[in-house]
Structure 1
Amino acid sequence: MTPALPTQRVDRTAADASATAWALAARGGDPDAADHFVRALHGDVLRYVTYLSGDPQAAHDLTQDTFARAFGSLHRFEGRASARTWLLTIARRAVADSLRRAAVRPRIADAVDWQAAVERAQPCGLPGFEDGVALLDLLEALSDERREAFLLTQIVGLSYEEAAGFVGCPVGTVRSRVSRSRAILGRLLREAEAEGAFAA
């Protein structure tokens, strides 16, 4: 992973400031600002809930749920944190609630061979699908804290300072978790490549 360039950080800061301004304007009832707010942060929320939930098929519903919750509590948003940080906090709660509901919901299958039916329903054959599955498998090897720090900084694009504020720990802890995650993922990739070469 290459570190973010200074210009990228400036662009990110400006984008966060714009999204926060749009959220505040939307709170005041501006429909155009609400539209800009959603467009500015939709991709970040979608990526975040996809990796947190581990379920790409549910990601769009979770993203919708996140924005529905955000607009329901927008009157309380005061801009003390960036709109993105605030929204990702809501997204994390939406995913946690979804996982909790799924854990208590009974699973019913009409098919005799339900495992084959599930496998046929998976969106395989899409560009990058195998890479995405491989990444999800690798991320499962990380502890929850390391995975979240890695996702926030390397996938969502938060700075270490923003991620630290988001998860409520010191910046050094986030740096350490990301560094350790990179080391673990690098080792797992090398092992997988070696196994693939050996099998070939």
Structure 2
Amino acid sequence: MSLRRTSGDSCDLARSVTDPRAFELVYDAYATRVLAFLARRTFDAEAARDLTAETFAQAYQGRRRFRGSTDDETAAWLYGIARNLLNRYIRTGVVERKAVERLGIRVPQLVEADYERIVQLAGLADLRAVIAEEFSRLRPDQQTAVHLRVVEELSYPEIATRLAISEQTARARVSRGLRQLVAGVENVPGMKEGLT
């Protein structure tokens, strides 16, 4: 059986259950897009590379559970896996990185060319510029609240104490600031990809 896609093929992922080689077509069709999706959200080329690999490993292992029949359903399923892995990465990443450092494990690093290629594919330079521009448009009180929550990772009670405001006001400032940032970022080409 040829691995070349024909006009009659509607879903290589479903076909890969009986012909595992068809999964190569799934990988070829979606790997770059999933990598860019993850890089735009982690701002870390190495993490995006690792999460992409894990996305496709889980997709391959779980391909028998896939119930779709179209390429759109394949994309939705892959992005769903990627989002779940990203959420877990965000929740556990700090703890894992500290454990790796504590154990003295040396993690292989990307070479500069690989890193630059991922940054280029994900459009991170443009995205950073947009975020910086949108951040500068926030009211100063929102800038401070967003910085404390996102950069310094303070809890809402800690932000309220630091700024001498109520927790409800702290939540409102962060929420409004993040909504404004998201509205600006959504105008960057490709940022909404995989969110539907």
Are the aligned partners of 1:66 and 1:90 in contact in 2 as well (CA < 8 Å)?
yes
- For 1:49-86, what per-residue CA distance to the aligned partner results, in whole angstroms no more than 9, with x for missing partners? 10111111221111001111111221111116520111
Instruction: State the distance in 2 between where 1:47 and 1:126 align.
Output: 12
Q: Which amino acid aligns with 1:65?
A: E
What is the match of residue 33 of structure 1?
A: 22
Q: Counterpart of 1:44? A: 33
Separation in 2 of the partners of 1:122 and 1:133? 18
How much has 1:147 moved relative to structure 2?
7.4
Q: Which structure would you say has the larger RCO, counting Cα contacts within 8 Å and 6 or more residues apart? A: 2
* 8 Å Cα contact 2:36-2:118 kept in structure 1: no
1:132 corresponds in structure 2 to 124
Q: Which secondary structure state, in structure 2, belongs to the residue aligned with residue 79 of structure 1?
A: coil
1:139, CA displacement in angstroms? Answer: 3.6
SS, match of residue 29 in structure 2: helix
Hey, what's the Cα distance between the residues in 1 that align with 2:27 and 2:63?
A: 12
Larger Rg: 2
- The TM-score, its normalising length taken from structure 1, stands at 0.51
Q: 79, 82, 90: which one pairs with 2:73? A: 82
Paired residues of 2:34 and 2:79 also in contact (CA < 8 A)? yes
For residues 58 and 129 of structure 1, do their structure 2 counterparts lie closer, same or farther at Cα, with a shift above 3 Å needed?
closer
Flag structure 1 segments of 5+ consecutive residues without an equivalent: 1-13, 110-120, 167-200
- Report the TM-score when normalising by structure 2: 0.52
Q: CA RMSD in A?
A: 4.1
SS in structure 2 at match of 1:138? helix
Is the 2:14–2:66 contact (alpha carbons within 8 Å) kept by the matching residues of 1?
yes
Pairing 1:65–2:57 present:
no
* Number of aligned positions between the proteins: 133
Query: Who is 1:192 aligned against?
Result: none
Tell whether the 8 Å contact from 1:44 to 1:156 is kept in structure 2 after alignment.
no
Unpaired runs of 5+ in structure 2? 103-109, 136-177
